[in-house]
Amino acid sequence: MDRWNPCLAEDPSGLVSLRHALVEEYLELVRARARRNTLLAAAYALKFFETVGRDRSR
């Protein structure tokens, strides 16, 4: 089974990405309704919880 490795990336135009289709849809919703700092916080939280959850599930 191929596991997702979250990688927080930001392109020069300011778009934030974690490179996962479902997560991208959620971040698009946040991007449309919130300020930039909220978007960055949401992306970081998703990355953090995915990383910690994977480590604790072993």
Phi, psi torsion values for 20, nearest 5 degrees: -145, 130
Look up residue 13 and give its DSSP letter: T
Please give the model's pTM, rounded to 2 decimal places: 0.80
Look up residue 42 and give its DSSP letter: H
Measured from the Cβ of residue 54, the count of other Cβ atoms closer than 10 Å reads: 13
Cβ–Cβ under 8 Å, residues 27 and 42: yes
3-state secondary structure of 33: helix
Per-residue pLDDT tens digits for 2-55: 677 888 898 888 889 998 999 999 999 999 999 999 999 999 999 998 888 766
